[in-house]
């Protein structure tokens, strides 16, 4: 699974809004990040909040446009365009190479 890192202020602000970042099947990792929004989005997204040990804190599927999500203990967020593929589950520890 391909993960694209968004670590600059600009890349985190743009996220998936541009439509050019992360085509279907790719994941965007926002670092540092503890909140996201879907204002301006045209499609649903999947979101997972993770902590500094890459453990999934919470996971959300098919988040519609015009929503705000946050987790106070998250250090990063994973986002992707919603699809039927499996998604992160709370408690899972992710391996990132």
Could you tell me the CATH number of the domain that includes residue 67? 2.60.120.1140
**Domain tally, the chain:** 1
User: What does the mean pLDDT of the chain come to?
Assistant: 85
| Exposure of 70 in the CB half-sphere (CA atoms within 13 A) | 4
By residue range, what is the domain housing residue 15? Answer: 3-81
Q: Is residue 57 part of a domain?
A: yes
Q: Is residue 65 part of a domain?
A: yes
- Among 80, 87, 68, 57, smallest CA distance to 4 is for 80
| The two three-digit tokens of residue 45, written as one number | 């997204």
Q: Is residue 11 part of a domain?
A: yes
The β-bridge partners of 93 are 55
pLDDT at 18 over 90: no
User: How far, in Å, CA of 19 to CA of 58, rounded?
Assistant: 25
> Tell me: the pLDDT tens digits for 57-86?
999 999 999 999 999 999 999 999 898 889
Q: Is residue 94 part of a domain?
A: no
Residue 22 near residue 16, CB atoms below 8 Å = yes
Q: Is residue 92 part of a domain?
A: no
Q: Is residue 70 part of a domain?
A: yes
- The pTM score is 0.84
């Amino acid at each position: 699974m391909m993960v694209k890192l968004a670590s600059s202020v600009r890349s985190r602000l743009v996220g998936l809004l541009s439509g050019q970042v992360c085509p279907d099947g790719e994941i965007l990792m926002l670092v540092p990040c503890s909140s996201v929004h879907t204002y301006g989005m045209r499609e649903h997204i999947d979101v997972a909040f993770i902590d500094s040990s890459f453990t999934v804190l919470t996971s959300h599927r098919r988040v519609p446009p015009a929503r705000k999500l946050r987790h106070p203990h998250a250090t990063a967020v994973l986002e992707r365009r919603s699809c039927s593929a499996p998604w992160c589950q709370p408690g899972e520890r992710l391996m990132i190479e």
